[in-house]
Structure 1
Amino acid sequence: MKTVTLVRHGKSSWEYDVSDIERPLKSRGKNDAKLVANQYIKSNSTPKNIYTSPANRALSTCGIFVDVFRLSDNSYTIIGDLYDFGGENVIKFIKTLPDTVDNIMIFGHNHAFTSIVNIYGDKFIDNLPTSGLVKLNFDISNWKDLKKGTTELIIIPKELKK
């Protein structure tokens, strides 16, 4: 059994004149990420392997989760290929993971994450919103055999605020 938890970065700010990769989180993005991380940790174990896009907004979202999980700052790995908006590089990354790794969490971007959730999960979502989280389970032993799995969990920040 393999598990992938995808977390889209928090809401980013467009008020700074910076490149896309350097765009920071808005305060709403920080608050939503913390809300989702706290909800996730209530009923899920902390993933042993955490990977993030190098984009400031994804890296900052990852940092919020790491804080909520009470992990050290070096408990995640920055992967350049996760700065991907189509999903092909994310899928390629997942398929090349060592088979000794069973449970991963990835921080990244749309449209990649919505596409991956709809290709590999069994519940359709129209759009994974910022700070949204989806946990997918796969009945495989080897990452290279990645195929359709089951959607175990979807956490949408807006739904936590009701």
Structure 2
Amino acid sequence: MTRELLLLRHGKSDWSKPVSDFQRPLKKRGKLGAQRIGDWLAEYELVPQRILSSPAERARATAEKCAKAMGRTAAEVTLEPSLYEADAEELARLVAASGDEVERLMVVGHNPALEEFADWLLPDPLPEGDDGKRLPTATLVRLAVEGSWSSLTAGNARLLEVQRAKTLPEGFVFATPDGIERRPRPAYYYTQSAVMPFRWRDGQLEVLLIGSSSNRHWSLPKGIVEPGLSAAQSALKEAREEAGISGEIAEVTPGHYPHAKWGARCGVTLFAMRVDDQLPEQHREEPQRTRRWLPAAAATEHLEQPSLVVELRSLIERLQAEGPA
């Protein structure tokens, strides 16, 4: 039986951050590179059944962003501590230990180990690109391996292709009623959810607004519906991260509104969230965002997006019709 082994070097990392090598993050270019590889794998139906990754920040983020662009979840990435400082021999041991039910395996790691491992597997060394590099960042090597993973030996793999993120199309595949188009971000980015945080005080409904990322205008906690999470779960996650609040989704019909971003239109589901707890400023993940409680009617006057205001007013009316619990 022929199996496939996908070797992916992490995306371009950010050396400007004063952190350890293990904690070094990806640059924006590195994030996009990981997503473009994942999008390409999904487009050509090459999604792996198992993903192993080094736990170093730049490799973990690469694996997770690649996985989500393929339609998988971050939880499906298995972190292998030994991959951080692995050599070719350790890589061979890890791959050989994979179960035979896995027909396509991805390993996300670092150089020089990945290059050395590929050279060990192939009868001839990996070819150089026009730039003289064999495995630059955000580059994927596809290998065919005959037999079980446990029978892996030197020179018994076949090179199928080497795919560099920077040679792929700029846009990401997005299906529309009119066919396929390409957008600046992966398809799942365009499905979002938000919460209208509320509380009852002295019988009056109040709404919590937060500052935008630049604090230039008021907004509500909102973000991408993460693969593996429901729209409501993603909205609650954004509320914790952006506003430092927690609570429950109220049992009222949510709203829906369009939001222009990333060169297209996102569809946003708006939930009413009853706030049960509010973290102190110093414990918030994004303390730079201003928070402000306002009477419900006044809150709608502070928001700029007309479609959001319409849905917010409608949601407020539904809550007020029910009254305090």
Q: TM-score, normalised by structure 2?
A: 0.47
> What's the counterpart of residue 151 of structure 2?
145
Return 6-15 or 152-161, whichever deviates more: 152-161
Deviation (angstroms), 1:122: 5.0
Could you tell me how far apart the structure 1 residues matched to 2:45 and 2:161 are?
Answer: 10
Map 1:113-128 onto structure 2 (within 5 A). Answer: 113-121=114-122, 124-126=126-128, 127-128=134-135
Q: Is the 8 A contact 2:65 2:74 kept in 1?
A: no
Contact preservation (8 Å) 1:85, 1:110: no
Percent identity of paired positions between Structure 1 and Structure 2: 29
Q: Indicate conservation of the 8 Å contact 2:87/2:113, yes or no.
A: yes
Q: Deviations over 1:116-144 (max 9, x none)?
A: 2222135623420100001111111x222
User: Which runs of structure 1 show a deviation greater than 3 angstroms over 4 or more consecutive aligned residues?
Assistant: none
User: Which amino acid in the other structure matches residue 149 of structure 2?
Assistant: W
Q: Deviations over 1:30-62 (max 9, x none)?
A: 112222222222213311111110000000001
Counterpart position of 2:14: 13
User: What 5-or-longer segments of structure 1 have no aligned partner?
Assistant: none
Q: Which stretch shows the higher mean deviation, 82-91 or 21-30?
A: 82-91
More strand by share: 2
One-letter code aligned to 2:151: D
More helix by share: 1
Within the candidate set 125, 131, 141, 1:134 is matched to 141
Where relative contact order (Cα < 8 A, 6+ residues apart) is larger, the structure is 1
User: Normalized against structure 1, the TM-score is what?
Assistant: 0.90
Partner AA of 1:41 in structure 2: A
SS in structure 2 opposite 1:11? coil
Task: Please report the RMSD computed on the Cα atoms of aligned residues, expressed in angstroms.
Answer: 1.8
Aligned to 2:112: 111
Q: Tell me the alpha carbon deviations over residues 61-106 of structure 1, each in whole angstroms, 9 at most, x when there is no partner.
A: 0111111111122111100111135322111111222223221111
Within 1, Cα distance between the matches of 2:127 and 2:166? 15
Q: Is the 8 A contact 1:118 1:125 kept in 2?
A: no
What is the count of residue pairs matched by the alignment?
161
SS of 1:152's partner is strand
**Could you say what secondary structure the match of 2:74 adopts?**
coil
1:26 maps to which residue?
27
